[in-house]
């Protein structure tokens, strides 16, 4: 009987052999149900063999072949195999989590067709001149469908209530749906689209490109095969407009270059919060293109449906967060990674992969161009562009001719009058903006009321009993919360150490800044945007509408507000307490701070009103702040790269971090020291540093430590890791949680 090798979601670095009857065809990439131990599991067939070393009596048969979905393509299986090998993670725990949750269960799933809508015979006979005037949205839909059939996305672009109104029209019998069956053939060439079905997609070309934008579009569009472009554009320079025109190029046929059109575009974004506004924007620019999103904020049903549309080729644009790098897209012709520097593209638990790096691998294997966009590229990407591995494309001016980069100035907090963490100068500037009906943003990357509660008598502080960190005061809830492990308690009425009732909040969080501003400007409309205030799924969307309608005077927020948002009335950004990153033990901390401040500064003055950024710091002459004031990313990057080369840090070396955590400190350090000794014994050309405590040495009652390995080439590091892996598996114990992080970002 034929033998199939199956990937299962278990922590073992191997495939499992099962027999299958010759009369039952099983394709590579197909889902199957197999017995594993005392239970049945869903797995993915990774290949088949004629024979196996396992005794015949131990080989169990496949119980069921699931034919309710298209098998995974060789392209995606190859990418997942590479991912498992490069990041040293079990193949089954790499393959199965890449699928939507419903495909990981044994329950049958249905492929929903892509529907389009048209007038029924009754709808075509309607006299729209006599249609009730109060039904404005329904009238718009009927007028649109009278011109031509439309998909749901195009109808929803007419109004926020168009989806509900469409259902009413269908219930009346005036509109009917029909299946738009336009799946792609499996794995066409990158230049090929949907067979002979070539559609001239509607495209809103309302924006005239600047010369720099046009150069960037032409450079990518005229590329044949794989190339990696770094689109380095200042904030407000119109990177999104470049993306739009590149998408248009891919979607439209071009006989001159022998391109049929109808290809697919994958757009990766770092955070869920950015997807709704980008989705709405791209829908408005491509009103009849099928666009789907893929992110963890979707329900299981929505995610499965959108994933299937991408796999069938019916979704032309796929907009998603990091996991969508594994989405099946048979007509993939272009990949775009927006805010490529963002650390959110690197998963920090389980399979610790970088979606940006895998997107580059996927583009290379597929033979299509990839664009990495950022105002502050990661130093790794910038170095690759400087050395010629990537091609640099620059946007040095803002897209709107009247828009200017904001003026940046620093306030020395040691010489300023301060009011609970906010200087008098900054408060005065906020007051002027309120008088002019302009918006201000106070940026502080810490939620809660205060980072710590302290006793003024004995010095007691609100430490977490499970972690090495402090519990943050959340005044409105009257709770102390640990942002590391989630432990929380009520605020004590008196000091637990000495009984003193005078407990003092030290430092500032978003809630305290909000409170101070409300006291100073009682008539101002203040909106706090952080993880606490946006827990509700619809909260952020409602907040964004408030901001755009200029119903907010002062925004108080964390890094959620720093990226990608365009608020025309915002002219002032105040940055509170950014100094901690200047003396961090993480060598990437200055790079992250610079990127963060450039991003948040870029929210100011994006329209015709000039913007200003005020940074409160104890080190106004620090080179980082000097570079920000002159908008000199190139100079800052050059100095940082020079420092890293001297110190022997990435991108001039390649790293892997072995981490361990457990209840017993002795067990943790014994494991890491044994692993270090085993690595040294391999005598490879790698540097194995000593075992050290983690930056947070105790979290959730677990002791945490780490071991860093680095090499001068990626190949040498990978060869070492392959030889080292069996020793790590041998020494590991059920008492410890261990992980290997290749190309780590967190230290």
Q: Are residues 525 and 569 in the same domain?
A: yes
Q: Is 456 among the domain residues?
A: no
Q: Is 498 among the domain residues?
A: no
Q: Is 202 among the domain residues?
A: no
Q: Is 499 among the domain residues?
A: no
How do residues 552-564 score in pLDDT, each as one tens digit?
Answer: 999 998 877 776 6
Final residue belonging to a domain, choices 395, 429, 458: 395
552 cis-preceded (ω within 30 degrees of 0) = no
Q: Is 588 among the domain residues?
A: yes
Kindly list the distances between the CA atom of residue 522 and the CA atoms of 30, 84, 519, in Å, as whole numbers in the listed order: 62, 56, 6
pTM for the predicted model, two decimal places: 0.87
Please list, in sequence order, all residues whose beta carbon lies within 8 angstroms of the beta carbon of residue 36, skipping any fewer than 6 positions away.
8, 10, 16
Q: Are residues 525 and 636 in the same domain?
A: yes
Q: Are residues 220 and 363 in the same domain?
A: yes
Q: Are residues 153 and 271 in the same domain?
A: no
**225: phi > 0 → left, psi -120 to 50 → alpha, else beta; which?**
left
- Bridge partner residues of 150 (DSSP): 117
Look at residue 563 in the predicted model and tell me its pLDDT: 67
Q: Are residues 629 and 700 in the same domain?
A: no
| Domain housing 143 | 115-179
Q: Are residues 135 and 82 in the same domain?
A: no
Q: Which helix (H) or strand (E) holds 635?
A: helix 633-647
Tell me the two tokens of residue 15: 């495939």
Which CATH number belongs to the domain containing residue 613 in this structure? 3.40.50.300
Please list, in sequence order, all residues whose beta carbon lies within 8 angstroms of the beta carbon of residue 67, skipping any fewer than 6 positions away.
30
Q: Collapsing DSSP states into helix, strand and coil, what is residue 523?
A: coil
CA–CA separation, 162 and 280 (whole Å): 14
Please list, in sequence order, all residues whose beta carbon lies within 8 angstroms of the beta carbon of residue 618, skipping any fewer than 6 positions away.
412, 413, 414, 579
Q: Are residues 224 and 370 in the same domain?
A: yes
Look at residue 181 in the predicted model and tell me its pLDDT: 46
Look at residue 105 in the predicted model and tell me its pLDDT: 87
Q: Is 500 among the domain residues?
A: no
Q: Are residues 347 and 430 in the same domain?
A: no
Q: Rounded to the nearest 5 degrees, what angle is found at the Cα of 53, between the Cα atoms of 49 and 58?
A: 100
How do residues 221-269 score in pLDDT, each as one tens digit?
Answer: 999 999 999 999 988 888 999 999 999 999 886 544 444 457 999 999 9
Give the single-character DSSP code of 3: E
Q: Is 85 among the domain residues?
A: yes
- Below-50 pLDDT ranges, the chain: 181-199, 255-260
Q: Are residues 267 and 175 in the same domain?
A: no
Look at residue 180 in the predicted model and tell me its pLDDT: 54
Final residue belonging to a domain, choices 179, 199, 223: 179
Q: Collapsing DSSP states into helix, strand and coil, what is residue 32?
A: strand
Q: Is 470 among the domain residues?
A: no
Tokens 């005065």 sit on residue: 428
Which CATH number belongs to the domain containing residue 49 in this structure? 3.40.1440.60
Q: Collapsing DSSP states into helix, strand and coil, what is residue 153?
A: helix
CA–CA separation, 408 and 601 (whole Å): 8
Tell me the two tokens of residue 394: 């620059």
Q: Are residues 568 and 608 in the same domain?
A: yes
| CA 120, chain centre distance (Å) | 42
Q: Are residues 667 and 574 in the same domain?
A: no
Final residue belonging to a domain, choices 83, 104, 125: 104
Residue spans of beta strands (DSSP E) within 82-234: 115-119, 150-151, 175-179, 227-233
Name the domain count of the chain: 5
Q: Are residues 251 and 379 in the same domain?
A: yes
């Amino acid at each position: 009987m034929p033998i199939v090798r199956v990937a299962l979601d278990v922590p073992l670095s191997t495939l499992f052999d099962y027999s299958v009857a010759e009369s039952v065809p099983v394709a590579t990439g197909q889902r199957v149900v197999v017995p594993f131990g005392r239970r049945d599991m869903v797995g993915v067939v990774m290949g088949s063999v004629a024979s196996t070393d396992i005794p015949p009596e131990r080989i169990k048969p496949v119980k069921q072949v699931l034919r309710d979905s298209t098998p995974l393509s060789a392209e995606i299986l190859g990418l997942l195999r590479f991912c498992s090998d490069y990041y040293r993670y079990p193949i089954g725990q790499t393959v199965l989590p890449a699928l939507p949750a419903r495909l990981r269960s044994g329950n049958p799933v249905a492929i929903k067709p892509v529907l389009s809508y048209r007038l029924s015979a009754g709808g075509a006979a309607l006299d729209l001149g006599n249609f009730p005037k109060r039904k404005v949205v329904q009238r718009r839909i009927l007028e649109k469908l009278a011109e031509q059939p439309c998909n749901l996305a195009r109808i929803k672009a007419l109004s926020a209530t168009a989806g509900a109104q469409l259902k009413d029209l269908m219930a009346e019998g005036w509109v009917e749906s029909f299946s738009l069956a336009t799946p792609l053939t499996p794995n066409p060439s990158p230049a090929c689209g949907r067979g002979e079905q070539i559609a001239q997609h509607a495209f809103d070309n309302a924006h005239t490109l600047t010369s720099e934008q046009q150069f960037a579009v032409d450079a990518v569009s005229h590329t044949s095969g794989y190339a990696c472009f770094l689109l380095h554009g200042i904030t407000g320079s119109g990177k999104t407009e470049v993306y739009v025109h590149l998408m248009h190029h891919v979607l439209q046929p071009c006989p001159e270059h022998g391109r049929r059109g109808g290809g697919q575009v994958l757009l990766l974004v770092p955070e869920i919060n950015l997807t709704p506004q980008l989705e709405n924007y791209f829908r408005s620019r491509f009103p009849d293109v099928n666009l789907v999103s893929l992110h963890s904020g979707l329900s299981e049903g929505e995610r499965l449906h959108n994933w299937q549309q991408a796999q069938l080729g019916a979704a032309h644009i796929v907009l998603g967060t990091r996991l969508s790098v594994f989405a099946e897209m048979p007509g993939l012709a272009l990949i775009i990674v927006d805010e490529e520097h963002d650390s959110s593209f690197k998963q920090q638990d389980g399979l610790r992969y970088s979606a940006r790096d895998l997107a580059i691998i996927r583009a290379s294997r597929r033979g299509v161009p990839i664009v990495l966009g950022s105002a502050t590229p990661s130093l790794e990407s910038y170095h690759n562009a400087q050395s010629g591995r990537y091609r640099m494309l620059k946007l040095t001016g803002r897209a709107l001719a009247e828009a200017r980069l904001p003026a940046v100035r620093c306030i020395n907090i040691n010489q300023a009058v301060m009011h609970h963490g906010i200087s008098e100068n900054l408060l005065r500037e906020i007051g002027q903006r309120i008088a002019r009906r302009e918006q201000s943003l106070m940026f502080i990357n810490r939620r809660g009321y205060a980072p710590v509660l302290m006793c003024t008598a004995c010095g007691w502080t609100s430490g977490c009993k499970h972690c090495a960190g402090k519990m943050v005061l959340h005044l409105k809830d009257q709770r102390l919360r640990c942002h590391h492990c989630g432990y929380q308690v009520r605020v004590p009425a008196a000091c637990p150490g000495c009984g003193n009732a005078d407990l003092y909040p030290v430092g500032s969080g978003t809630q305290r800044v909000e409170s101070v501003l409300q006291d100073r400007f009682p008539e101002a409309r203040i909106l706090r945007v952080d993880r606490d205030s946006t827990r509700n799924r619809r909260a952020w969307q409602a907040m964004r509408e408030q901001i755009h309608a200029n119903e907010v005077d002062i925004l108080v927020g964390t890094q959620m507000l720093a990226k990608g948002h365009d608020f025309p009335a915002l002219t002032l950004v105040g940055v509170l307490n950014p100094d901690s990153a200047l003396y961090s033990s993480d060598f990437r901390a200055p790079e992250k701070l610079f990127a963060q401040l450039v991003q948040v500064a870029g929210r100011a003055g994006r329209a015709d009103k000039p913007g200003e950024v005020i940074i409160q710091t104890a080190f106004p002459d620090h080179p980082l702040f000097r570079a920000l004031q002159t908008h000199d990313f190139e100079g800052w990057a050059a100095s940082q790269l020079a420092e890293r080369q001297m110190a022997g840090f990435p991108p001039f070396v390649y790293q892997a971090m072995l981490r361990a955590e457990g209840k017993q400190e002795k067990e943790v350090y014994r494991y890491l020291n044994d692993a270090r000794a085993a690595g040294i014994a391999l005598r490879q050309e790698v540097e194995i540093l000593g075992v050290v405590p983690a930056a947070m040495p105790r979290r959730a009652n677990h002791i945490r430590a780490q071991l860093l390995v680095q090499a001068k080439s990626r190949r040498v590091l990978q060869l070492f890791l392959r030889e080292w892996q069996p020793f790590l598996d041998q020494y590991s114990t059920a008492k410890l949680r261990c992980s290997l992080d290749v190309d780590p970002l967190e230290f």
